[in-house]
């Protein structure tokens, strides 16, 4: 008798509700909203194609013209110098801010404070006029005689002033980004390296920086892209970068919109390239971490193709 | 006790953090080839003592000698002057330290974790360091994990890698700071087995732990600390089974 009750309690009575098929919730308005958005996109694309105001023939005539290509080169040059010098100086300032010396920490803090406070465009005009303050720049004993000296104008042309301004400005932001990345590394990592007797520089270079890079990279890439577009600000110094050159051409031909599109197309294209580079570099520094970025669309496509091929063989 | 026989010699060590006096005059001798297990309630200063031995903590008073050499300081006249960091780092290569939370380098593979210090700190040729690293990995039973990244391993495996990493410098003394406290219970055994194996081969060790059973089985000396002082020390049969001091009895009653 007891066994039967036990068996009965093990198998619950058949419940008809438990057998019913399960269907997802219907969302008809989602479909409507999607279709409406598609119509708007179609209208925009149609406008791009047929509105004569975009003047695509002029766009085609100038997008690969020598003067524009040369201007793209100048823009890339400004970005490259600004990035390399900015982040190199930024790394030094970050190291000073993390150092044990209160004097160095204060100097680094003051640098960041000053260069984040002054608008970039003001700085650029200021550097451009440096020769007004100092006619010659020399190296020698502080407050004493100098051994070598240069005329400021010779040392610092318009391009030099632009690079200087961009790099000094960038360094302030880069310093904070690098410092943030270093602070995010677990303190136990430094302790473990110290316990193993690894020399100080190697601790920073081999243990801390590679781990800090994970935090630094997304922000650094933001900065590089923003600097890349931000170089357009040096048009105030009449340097022949992309935006300035586009202005020069539409000033001559009066075709404003197509030339703005020429500049836009180049900015978009090169930003896309920078984003792809960022993705690759981030994946490299994610090695060993639990969360790796998902595969790129291209990697996903290749994986799918190999899978299909393997199935066929 | 004469300093000639001790591998690790701790004398009159004091350490305070702000107003809290964590170590209040510690004396301890560890003979070569023996295992010393340090027990005590949390906050008793046992981890701080261990960290003081390899100068991860600076001392306020007293000294630590390893194999006759002052650690972290050198005597200048009637003062103990702190050594430059470069010298301290060199001294630490003779002391292996195993952390509670492993602190493996996550961006380096298991093998690279073991190679980093011999190459970077001692200048051992990379190939030689790699060969030695593989030997050590098979010693802790992880030869097949050489090319994995640490985060892919279980906690027990990570701690065994950390022990192998400490051994890669061929230290004179191994220091363990609660090596099994961060592990799931079923993973504790594999780590203790590795440590027991090292004990059998005559490695000098100081182990801070809560594993009383391990202390009973492996320790030559058990040290019981409370409130920043050594309350009593002696062979496990004495300290664990016939404690002289009331505080020791109270602690053992709680953990056993």
- Closest residue, chain B, to A208 (C-alpha): B105
The whole-angstrom distance between B129's CA and the closest CA on chain A is 14
Residue B56: its chain A contacts at CB < 8 A?
Answer: 191, 194-195
Q: Is the pLDDT of residue B234 over 70?
A: yes
- Closest residue, chain A, to B171 (C-alpha): A196
What pLDDT shows up at residue A113? Answer: 96
Q: Answer whether A287 sits within 8 Å of B104, measured CB to CB.
A: no
Contact criterion met (CB below 8 Å) for B179 and B98? yes
Residue B86: its chain A contacts at CB < 8 A?
Answer: 199-200
Q: Where are the beta strands (DSSP E) in A185-284?
A: none
* Pairwise CA distance, residues A291 & B151, whole Å: 10
Residue A191: its chain B contacts at CB < 8 A?
Answer: 56, 99, 103
The candidate with the shortest Cα–Cα distance to B252, out of B243, B236, B234, B227, is B243
Q: Is the pLDDT of residue A297 over 90?
A: no
Q: Answer whether A189 sits within 8 Å of B92, measured CB to CB.
A: no
Q: What is the mean pLDDT of chain A?
A: 88
DSSP state for residue B2 in the 8-state scheme: -
Residue B85: its chain A contacts at CB < 8 A?
Answer: 200
A38-42, A160-164, A219-223, B228-232: which has the minimum mean pLDDT?
A160-164
DSSP state for residue B210 in the 8-state scheme: S
Residue A189: its chain B contacts at CB < 8 A?
Answer: 103, 105
Q: What is the mean pLDDT of chain B?
A: 94
Paired tokens of A52: 């004569």
What pLDDT shows up at residue B3? Answer: 45
What pLDDT shows up at residue A290? Answer: 66
Q: Answer whether B89 sits within 8 Å of A289, measured CB to CB.
A: no
Mutate to test the interface with B, among A181, A184, A196, A199 (most CBs of B within 10 A): A196
What pLDDT shows up at residue A149? Answer: 74
| Total residues found in chain A within this entry | 313
Q: What digits encode the pLDDT tens for the residues B114-159?
A: 999 999 999 999 999 999 999 999 999 999 999 999 999 999 999 9
Q: What digits encode the pLDDT tens for the residues A23-46?
A: 888 899 999 999 999 999 999 999
The candidate with the shortest Cα–Cα distance to B114, out of B162, B179, B177, B171, is B162
Whole-model pTM: value is 0.82
Is B61 in a helix, a strand, or coil?
Answer: strand
ipTM of the complex: 0.91
Residue B145: its chain A contacts at CB < 8 A?
Answer: none
State whether residue A192 sits within 8 Å of chain B by CB. Answer: yes
Q: Is the pLDDT of residue A19 over 80?
A: yes
State whether residue B108 sits within 8 Å of chain A by CB. Answer: yes
DSSP H helical ranges for B143-184: 155-167
State whether residue B104 sits within 8 Å of chain A by CB. Answer: yes
Q: Is the pLDDT of residue A8 over 70?
A: no
Q: What digits encode the pLDDT tens for the residues A111-170?
A: 999 999 999 999 888 888 877 777 777 777 787 777 777 777 666 778 888 999 999 999
């Amino acid at each position: 008798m007891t066994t039967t009750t036990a068996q009965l309690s093990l198998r619950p009575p058949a419940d008809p509700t438990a057998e019913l098929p399960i269907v997802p919730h219907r969302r008809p308005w989602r479909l409507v909203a999607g279709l409406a958005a598609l119509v708007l996109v179609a209208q925009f694309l149609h406008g791009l194609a047929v509105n004569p105001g975009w003047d695509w023939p002029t766009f085609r005539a100038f997008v690969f013209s020598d003067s524009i290509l040369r201007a793209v080169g100048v823009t890339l040059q400004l970005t490259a110098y600004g990035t390399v010098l900015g982040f190199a100086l930024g790394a030094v300032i970050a190291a000073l801010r993390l150092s044990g010396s209160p004097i160095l920490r204060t100097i680094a803090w003051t640098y960041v404070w000053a260069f984040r406070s002054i608008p970039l465009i003001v700085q650029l005009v200021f550097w451009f006029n440096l020769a007004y303050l100092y006619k010659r720049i020399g190296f020698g004993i502080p407050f004493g005689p100098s051994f070598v000296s240069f005329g400021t104008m010779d040392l610092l042309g318009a391009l030099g002033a632009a690079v200087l301004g961009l790099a000094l400005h960038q360094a302030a932001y880069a310093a904070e980004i690098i410092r943030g990345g270093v602070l995010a590394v677990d303190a136990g990592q430094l302790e473990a390296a110290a316990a193993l007797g690894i020399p100080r520089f190697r601790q920073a270079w081999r243990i801390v920086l590679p781990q800090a890079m994970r935090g630094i990279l997304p922000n650094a890439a933001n900065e590089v892209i923003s600097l890349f577009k931000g170089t357009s600000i040096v048009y105030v110094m009449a340097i022949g970068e992309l935006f300035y050159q586009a202005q020069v051409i539409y000033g001559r031909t009066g075709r404003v919109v197509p030339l703005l599109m020429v500049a836009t197309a180049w900015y978009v294209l090169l930003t896309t390239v920078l984003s792809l580079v960022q993705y690759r570099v981030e994946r490299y520094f994610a090695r060993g971490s639990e969360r790796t970025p998902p595969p790129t669309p291209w990697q996903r496509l290749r994986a799918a193709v190999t899978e299909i091929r393997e199935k066929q063989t | 006790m004469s300093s000639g026989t001790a591998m690790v010699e701790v004398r009159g060590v004091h350490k305070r953090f702000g107003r809290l006096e964590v170590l209040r005059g510690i004396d301890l001798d560890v003979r070569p080839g023996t295992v010393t297990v340090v027990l005590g309630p949390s906050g008793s200063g046992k981890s701080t003592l261990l960290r003081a031995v390899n100068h991860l903590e600076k001392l306020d008073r007293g000294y630590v000698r390893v194999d006759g050499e002052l650690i972290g300081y050198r005597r200048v006249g009637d003062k103990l002057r702190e050594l430059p960091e470069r010298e301290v780092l060199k001294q630490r290569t003779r002391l292996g330290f195993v952390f509670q939370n492993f602190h493996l380098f996550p961006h380096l593979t298991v093998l690279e974790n073991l190679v980093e210090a011999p190459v970077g700190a001692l200048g051992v040729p990379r190939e030689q360091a790699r060969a030695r690293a593989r030997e050590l990995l098979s010693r802790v039973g992880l030869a097949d994990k050489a090319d994995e990244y640490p985060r892919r391993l279980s906690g027990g495996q990570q701690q065994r890698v950390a022990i192998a990493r400490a051994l890669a410098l061929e230290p004179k003394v191994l220091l363990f700071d609660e090596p099994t406290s961060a592990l799931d219970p079923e993973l504790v055994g594999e780590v203790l087995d590795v440590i027991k194996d090292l004990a059998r081969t005559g490695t000098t060790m100081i182990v801070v732990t809560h594993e009383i059973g391990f202390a009973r089985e492996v320790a030559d000396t058990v040290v019981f600390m409370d409130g920043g002082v050594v309350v009593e020390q002696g062979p496990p049969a004495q300290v664990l089974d016939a404690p002289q001091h009331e505080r020791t009895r109270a602690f053992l009653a709680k953990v056993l």
